[in-house]
Amino acid sequence: MKAHDGMYIDGAWRPAAGTGTIEVTNPADGTLLATVPAGGPEDVAAAVRAARAALPGWAATPPAERAARLDALRRILTDRREEIARTVTAELGSPLTLSQKVHAAVPIAVCTGYAELAAAYSFEERLGNSLVLREPVGVVGAITPWNYPLHQIVAKAAPALAAGCTMVLKPAEDTPLVAQLFAEAVDEAGVPAGVFNLVTGLGPVAGQALAEHEDIDLLSFTGSTAVGRRIGAAAASGVKRVALELGGKSANVVLPGADLAKAVKAGVANVMSNSGQTCSAWTRMLVDSERYEEAVRLAAEATAKYTTGDPLDEATRVGPLVNAAQRERVTGYIERGREEGARLVAGGAEPPEGAERGHYVRPTVFADVTPGMTIAQEEIFGPVLSLLKYEDTEDALRIANGTVYGLAGAVWSEDEEEAVAFARRMETGQVDINGGRFNPLAPFGGYKQSGVGRELGVHGLEEYLQTKSLQL
C-alpha cells in the first residue's frame, strides 16, 4: 500500500510546505501503514489558488464533457474497487466483505449517478419572460470524515464537478490513503489540473484554514455536530454557503402488528454494520410494551451472532473502531448506560476475548432505556443499541422526535400506509419503511442539529449551483 509524501495540487503531487506528518495506523493491530504530510494554511492557500484559477475553464466546460470525465472516473474506480476495499479495511478496520459491498461499491454507484445527471440536468429554464440559469457556486472546500471515507468524498466531489465547481478536499486524518487513491483516479480520468485538489492534514489546522479561507465559496463538511458548529461559524464569518451533514440518534420504530423478528434482526444489523460508526444508524429501537421483552430477547440473540475479529477474516462481522479515542468514547458511554440504570443484555465495556491489541468494542445491547438517559440522547458512534418501550403510537412519536437530531430512521408495520403516515410525522431527513433499501439517487441529510443541506441525487447537485435570472 503506497502513500504519497506530497499534496495533489494543480494536477501534480507537490511537497508540503511544512515538515509535519501524520502516521496512518491499522486499527486492528496498531501497526503503522504509512505516513502522509500534515498540511497547513500554506498548503490550503496553494490548493485554493489552483482551484480558483481553474474555475473559469471548468465552469465553461460543456456539461456533456464534465459528464464524460465523471464517467471515466467511474470506470477507474470500478477497475480499482478491490484495491479500494483493501485500503479502507487497512486504515478504517471494516471487515473486507463490508468494504467490498459498501465502501467500494456505493461510491461507484454515486459516481455513476452523477455522470448521468451531469449530462441530463437542465442548467437553464424559461419562466415567463425570464431565462433562469443554474451556475456553479464556485470554489468548494470539502472536509470529509473517516467512517465512510471514499463514499463521503465522492458524495461531495462528484456533484461539485458535475456542477462545474472546482474544489479542495481535506480528508479525515485517520483515512487519508483512500483519499490519495481517489486523487490518482481523478488525475487518470483526465480532469483538468486545478479542478480537484487534495490537502491532507489535521482538522484544527488544515480543516480550519480551509473553512476560514476567504476565497472558498461553499464549505461542505461531514462529521460530528460539535465540530460542525465550529466549522459553520468559521465559514459563516466570510458569508460562505455552508452544507453540513452531522450526527444522528435515529429511531427504529416497530409499530404494533409489525413482523417483530424481521424488524429486530434488521435493526441489529443496521447498528452493528461498520462497527456502529454510521451517522444514520438506527441506534434507538422503539417497541410497544406488550412485545418489548420478546424484542429484547431477539436483539440479544441476534447480537450474539456478530463475531468480532480480524477484518480480513471472512467470519468477522464487526471490526475494530477507527482509533483508541473512539474506543474510549464508546466504552465510556456503555459504562454510563449501566450507571444510569439501563439493563445490559449483550456485550459490555470489556474488550472482546482475543482482541486486546486492536480498538475493539463488544457489540452491545441495552434494555430498560428511558428517553432521558444519556445513551438515548447522545450519539455514541459504536456498536451499541438501546431498546426503549412505548405505550401507544403517540408515545412512540414523542420518543422518536425527542432528541436534538433528525438524520434518519425506520418504521415497521403490517400496513405500509400506516408506516408512511407515521414516517410523515417524524422530524428526520430519511426514513426506511419496512426495510426499504438505500437509494443513492434520493436526497440524504438532516433536520434539526443533524445538518444543513442535502447530498446525493438532484438535490445534492443543486447544493453546488447558484441561480441567476435574465429578464428578457
Residues with a catalytic annotation lie at: 245, 279
- Grid coordinates belonging to 249: 440518534
Cβ–Cβ under 8 Å, residues 147 and 281: no
Q: How far apart are CA 124 and CA 472, in angstroms?
A: 14
**DSSP-derived pairing of the beta strands 451-452 and 465-471:** unpaired
Angle, CA of 109, 115 and 116, to the nearest 5°:
95
Sequence-separated (6 or more) residues with CB below 8 Å from residue 249: 283, 284, 376, 377, 378, 379, 403, 404, 405
- Which among 201, 203, 195, 122 has a CA at the least distance from the CA of 158? 195
Q: How far apart are CA 171 and CA 250, in angstroms?
A: 25
